[in-house]
């Protein structure tokens, strides 16, 4: 993830500005809020924490309702094409391979899946899993929002606490 963050900071940070850069990073799958807060940290762009948090949360949250509401019908349409069917099926399989805890604990499983910053977890994948499991929108959206809040706390401590100490920045 650090290499991706480095790339975006190097290519967007100068031309797009610090805040727009962390907003864009927070919307991108794989990086999401974790990458946004890491990029905002004293180790990279040194955006004050109280400015970075709402930018990263909003950036990470924007794709969620679209994924929850539209990914299943979009995937159904894409699976009708010979060329895209294998790609969609691979994405679905990859998401469903990670869905066991979400299936078992549903709401709280989804909260933890989105909130604990491990590779392959986050709001994008959590929303995809919720959609594929037919979890009702309101329940799934609420769980994802709580998960994003949990990820915000964890990544703020890592990005601004640990990295702040190492790089001498002020949050």
Is residue 87 domain-resident?
Answer: yes
pLDDT of 169: 54
Is residue 161 domain-resident?
Answer: no
Helix intervals (H) in 28-167: 32-40, 49-61, 63-78, 85-97, 100-115, 123-132, 137-156, 163-167
Give this prediction's pTM: 0.89
Is residue 122 domain-resident?
Answer: yes
Give the tens place of pLDDT for each residue, 20-62: 999 999 999 999 999 999 999 988 899 999 999 999 999 999 9
> What's the chain's Rg over C-alpha atoms?
17
Give the tens place of pLDDT for each residue, 121-133: 999 999 999 999 9
Neighbours of 164 (CB within 10 A): 20
Is residue 58 domain-resident?
Answer: no
End-to-end CA distance of the chain: 22
Is residue 49 domain-resident?
Answer: no
d(C-alpha 33, C-alpha 91), whole Å: 21
Is residue 145 domain-resident?
Answer: yes
Phi and psi at residue 39, to the nearest 5° = -65, -35
Whether residue 146 contacts residue 115, with contact meaning beta carbons closer than 8 Å, is answered with yes
Is residue 121 domain-resident?
Answer: yes
Number of structural domains found in the chain: 1
Is residue 132 domain-resident?
Answer: yes
For residues 63-78, average pLDDT: 97
Domain residues for the domain of 144 are 63-150
Give the tens place of pLDDT for each residue, 89-129: 999 999 999 999 899 999 999 999 999 999 889 999 999 99
């Amino acid at each position: 993830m650090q290499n991706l963050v480095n790339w975006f900071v190097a290519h967007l940070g100068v031309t797009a500005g610090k805040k727009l850069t962390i907003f864009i990073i927070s919307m991108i799958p794989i990086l999401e809020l974790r990458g946004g807060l890491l990029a905002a940290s004293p180790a990279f762009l040194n955006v004050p924490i109280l400015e970075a948090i709402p930018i990263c949360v909003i950036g990470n949250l924007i794709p969620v309702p679209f994924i929850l509401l539209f990914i299943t019908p979009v995937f159904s349409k894409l699976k009708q094409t010979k060329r895209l069917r294998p790609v969609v099926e691979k994405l679905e399989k990859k998401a469903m391979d990670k869905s066991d805890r979400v299936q078992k604990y549903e709401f709280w499983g989804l909260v933890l899946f989105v909130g604990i910053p491990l590779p392959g977890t986050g709001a994008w994948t959590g929303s995809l899993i919720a959609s594929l499991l037919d979890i009702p929108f309101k329940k799934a959206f609420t769980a994802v929002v709580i998960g994003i809040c949990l990820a915000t706390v964890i990544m703020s401590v890592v990005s601004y606490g640990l990295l702040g100490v190492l790089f001498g920045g002020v949050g």
